[in-house]
Amino acid sequence: MFLVLVGLTLLGATSGVLGAFALLRRKALLSDTFAHATLPGVCLAYLLGGKQMGWLLAGAFISSLLSVGWVSVITHRTRLKEDAALALTLSVFFGFGMVLLTGIQRWGDGYQSGLDRFLFGQAAALLPHEVGYLATACLLILLVVGALFKEFTLMCFDRDYALAIGLPVRWLDALLMGLIALMVVLGLQSAGALLMVALMITPAAAARLCTHRLSLMIWLAALFGMLSAAGGVLMSALYGRLPTGPVMVLIASALFAVAFLFRYTVRGERRWQRP
């Protein structure tokens, strides 16, 4: 359990950090699209390569990247705005994934495929080497974000100025979206496709209510993500029937509720005042 606790705590911290940037870039719904778009990739990878975890996660990552490309095509080639394109893409990819999943479960030993855990998560099933891969990937993501923190910050707050001083904004944006997609894929086994986006956005939203400073917001988002993940693992271990992923999301939601009450009652700010 200790290895799972360490791995998921790192997952929570990294999710909170990336969720903060997604929130500032107003890409929260895009993160949700990433999560739902992984399902057809997982199912197709299962049909092509079996139950090897590497195949399944690679399929999920490719599928999530394809969903971003499809959103880009819709927004640039039609008159639909990004929110409509995201809703359409999410529905199509997830619907296709559910059709594939239903078909797999009806064929032969499909009910033993274990693909359901990619929907709802099953942290207790993580193997030691999988936790090691998860922790390593999270640390690498945090290193990339730390190295490009100033560039990401400038891109989020003043895109025009970033372009004017010669920053490769399009590549930075693509890198940030790629990191978010990778984060979603990494969290599939523990939180599941349906709940991973909540583990990313909810701690970041709670941190946003607590401070006006970006650096403090990032640290708080990481802290809230860590508390949510660690609390989910510990409660699942103490009460064996509790699923880890949903408990993590419930703890994150409770932290958001506390932050909301703190901002609008203790600090006495009116609801129409924005940070």
pLDDT at 275: 45
Overall domain count for the chain = 1
| Structural domain contains residue 59 | yes
**Matching residue, tokens 């997609």:** 181
pLDDT level of residue 243 (50, 70, 90 thresholds): confident
- For residue 273, pLDDT over 60 is answered with no
- Return the pLDDT at 16: 93
Q: What does pTM read for this prediction? A: 0.85
216 occurs within a structural domain: no
Distance (Å, whole) CA 256 – CA 209: 8
Q: What pLDDT is attached to residue 108? A: 56
Are the C-beta atoms of 58 and 45 separated by less than 8 Å? yes
User: Tell me, what CATH number does 20's domain have?
Assistant: 1.10.3470.10
Domain limits for position 82? 2-197
pLDDT at position 250 is 93
Would 76 be classed as within a structural domain?
yes
pLDDT at 228: 93
Mean pLDDT for 111-119 is 67
Say if 221 falls within a structural domain: no
**Residue 66 structure tokens:** 């394809």
The 3-state secondary structure of 14-45, one letter per residue: HHHHHHHHHHHCCCHHHHHHHHHHHHHHHHHH
The confidence score (pLDDT) of residue 272 equals 44
